[in-house]
């Protein structure tokens, strides 16, 4: 089975390629990338005016399976990923049970193999049950396929445990991903501590609750010489500290979510829980710092923190609603708007932020478009005008603040292992 992507602008940041090329896919591999390819028996995708990029990788999603399948499954979440242009996702371990053992990891890997539309890499827990007390079976989970460890959402407060986790994970060559939040500082908080929390009478989550943990992690990374990846960085101070750490050559990487550079706390319309997430939406100063951090390489990549919640959990008092919003389907549109159309980031850099850069944060062998390499390809437009309809999402949950938002540019087709799994015109394609 052969597939020819014709007349696209092929952008592969890893090799520096940026030009008009045809891409031929044979089975699950890239067979050729040439200015002009003739292949009469191939299915043709016309990519005239489109960008043909290495398959996008989202290293921070919540797929909710096992245990919270009413909000999302590996099947539904991976389909939303495909609709967002992602060909691979890394799923966080805060499921029921927590992914803290080889059994849960192999369950996820197996479910993904049988039901997922895109590649799924599990992330294991740092501690048993993410309780922050004893290390999880990190080696055994690694043997089953985890690509990193994290107690995302239930962050490790105990610095001694964090230090041991960093060292221990390094012996398997995997990084620790930290959701940096000092719970003693953020406790009782609903949104960013600032004018908006004062205005709405909601509990504040101060920037310092993130900053002290980023500082701790950088110090521990220096001490252990082990890799730490800062999840969803959101404050100007944290970004400045990561910049400093990188100058010192420390093994620290960072991601930012599209909502953290696309929205600020003053845009929260009243008590709409689709604007409630951790870390919270910050200020314009922080947004500017995030964009600057992306421009100068302080922030390595974009990740969505796709966090589906069912309608009824979001239909209650604001302070009782869970944290988190969906993000897979809007990530590219938001990034094009805030970064590319805004003029701060060029196309090859934008593609890198979604493909090779997140791959290298977690040492995934993905995010490149090379002959002989895996045929994971994202085709997108920088001009197509469309409106996001959260009710039409492929996710099982609709908790997005971006319903009704108009975008210029977005995903057009998603190809995973040589198979077209989603196109903007047809939606999901049935798979064999």
Partner 1 sequence: MNSTGPNARNLLGIEDLDRAEIERLLDSGRHFKSVPPRKKLDALRGRSIVNLFFEPSTRTRTSFEIAAKRLGADTIGIQTLGSSLSKGESLVDTLNTLAAMNPDIIVMRHAASGAPHFLARHLSTPMINAGDGQHEHPTQALLDALTILEVKGTLQGLRVAIIGDIAHSRVARSNIHLLSKFGADIVACGPATSVSKNLTQLAPGVSLTNRMRDAVRDADVIMMLRVQLERQNVEVFPKSEYFRYFGLSLEHVALARPDAIVLHPGPINRGREISSEVADSQRSMILNQVENGVAIRMAVLEWVCSG
State the minimum distance, in angstroms, from the CB of residue 273 to partner 1: 9
Q: How many CB atoms lie within 10 A of CB 199?
A: 11
Q: What is the three-class DSSP state of 57?
A: strand
What's the half-sphere exposure (Cβ side, CA atoms, 13 Å) at 166?
A: 25
Q: Considering beta carbons, is residue 15 or 187 the nearer one to partner 1?
A: 187
Q: Considering beta carbons, is residue 40 or 270 the nearer one to partner 1?
A: 270
Q: Which residues are catalytic, by number? A: 305
**DSSP assignment of 122-140:** E-B-SBGGG-SSSB--HHH
Q: Considering beta carbons, is residue 32 or 200 the nearer one to partner 1?
A: 200
State the minimum distance, in angstroms, from the CB of residue 162 to partner 1: 24
CB-CB contact of 87 with 50 (8 Å) = no
Give the DSSP H/E element, type plus range, for residue 2: strand 2-12
**DSSP assignment of 167-183:** HHHHTTT-PEEE----H
State the minimum distance, in angstroms, from the CB of residue 193 to partner 1: 8
Q: Considering beta carbons, is residue 107 or 275 the nearer one to partner 1?
A: 275
Q: Considering beta carbons, is residue 195 or 285 the nearer one to partner 1?
A: 195
- Could you give the angle at the alpha carbon of 385 between the alpha carbons of 420 and 291, nearest 5°? 90
Nearest CA to 51 out of 79, 24, 89, 20 is that of 20
Under DSSP, the state recorded for 201 is T
Nearest CA to 257 out of 152, 149, 332, 343 is that of 332
Q: Considering beta carbons, is residue 96 or 198 the nearer one to partner 1?
A: 198
Query: How far is Cα 427 from Cα 181, in angstroms, rounded to an integer?
Result: 38
The token duo for 163 is 């230090």
Q: Which residues contact residue 178 at a Cβ distance below 8 angstroms, ignoring those fewer than 6 apart?
A: 150, 155, 156, 162, 213, 217, 228, 229, 230, 231
Binding residues vs partner 1 (CB under 8 A): 187-188, 193-195, 197-203, 270-271, 312, 315-320
State the minimum distance, in angstroms, from the CB of residue 280 to partner 1: 14
What is the separation of C-alpha 25 from the centre of its chain, rounded to a whole number of angstroms? 26
The token duo for 99 is 């992914």
State the minimum distance, in angstroms, from the CB of residue 362 to partner 1: 37
State the minimum distance, in angstroms, from the CB of residue 269 to partner 1: 10
């Amino acid at each position: 089975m052969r597939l020819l992507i014709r007349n696209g602008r092929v952008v592969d940041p890893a090799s520096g390629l940026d030009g008009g090329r045809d891409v031929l896919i044979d089975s699950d591999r890239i067979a050729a990338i040439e200015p002009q390819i003739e292949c009469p028996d191939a299915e043709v995708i016309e990519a005239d005016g489109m960008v043909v990029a290495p398959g996008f990788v989202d290293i921070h999603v919540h797929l909710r399976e096992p245990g919270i399948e009413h909000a999302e499954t590996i099947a539904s979440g991976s389909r939303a990923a495909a609709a967002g242009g992602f060909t691979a996702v890394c799923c966080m371990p805060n499921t029921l049970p927590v992914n803290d053992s080889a059994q849960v990891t192999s369950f996820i890997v197996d479910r993904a193999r049988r039901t997922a539309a895109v590649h799924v890499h599990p992330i294991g827990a740092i501690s048993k049950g993410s309780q922050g007390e004893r290390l999880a079976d990190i080696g055994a989970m690694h043997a089953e396929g985890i690509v990193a460890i994290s107690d995302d959402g239930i962050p490790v407060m105990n610095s001694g445990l964090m230090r041991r986790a960093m060292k221990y994970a390094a012996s398997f060559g995997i990084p620790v991903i930290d959701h940096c939040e000092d719970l003693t500082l953020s406790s009782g908080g609903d949104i960013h501590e600032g004018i908006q929390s004062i205005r709405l009478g909601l509990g504040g989550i101060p920037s310092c609750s993130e900053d002290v943990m980023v500082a701790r992690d950088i110090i521990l990374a220096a001490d252990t010489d082990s890799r730490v990846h800062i999840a969803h960085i959101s404050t100007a101070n944290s970004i400045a500290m990561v910049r400093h750490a990188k100058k010192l050559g420390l093994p620290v990487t960072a991601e930012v979510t599209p909502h953290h550079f696309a929205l600020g706390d003053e845009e929260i319309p009243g008590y709409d829980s689709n604007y409630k997430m951790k870390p919270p939406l910050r200020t314009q100063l922080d947004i500017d710092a995030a964009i600057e951090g992306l421009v100068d390489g302080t922030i390595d990549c974009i990740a969505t923190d796709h966090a589906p919640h069912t309608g009824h959990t979001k239909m209650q008092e604001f302070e009782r609603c869970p944290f988190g919003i969906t993000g897979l389907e809007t990530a590219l549109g938001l990034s094009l708007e805030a970064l590319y159309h805004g003029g701060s980031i060029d196309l090859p850099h934008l593609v890198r932020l979604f493909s090779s850069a997140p791959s290298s944060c977690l040492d995934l062998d993905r995010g490149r478009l090379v002959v002989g390499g895996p045929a994971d390809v994202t085709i997108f437009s920088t001009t197509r005008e469309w409106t996001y309809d959260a009710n039409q999402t492929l996710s099982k949950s609709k908790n997005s603040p971006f319903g009704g938002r108009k975008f210029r540019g977005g995903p057009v087709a998603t190809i995973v292992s040589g198979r077209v799994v989603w196109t903007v015109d047809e939606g999901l394609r049935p798979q064999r």
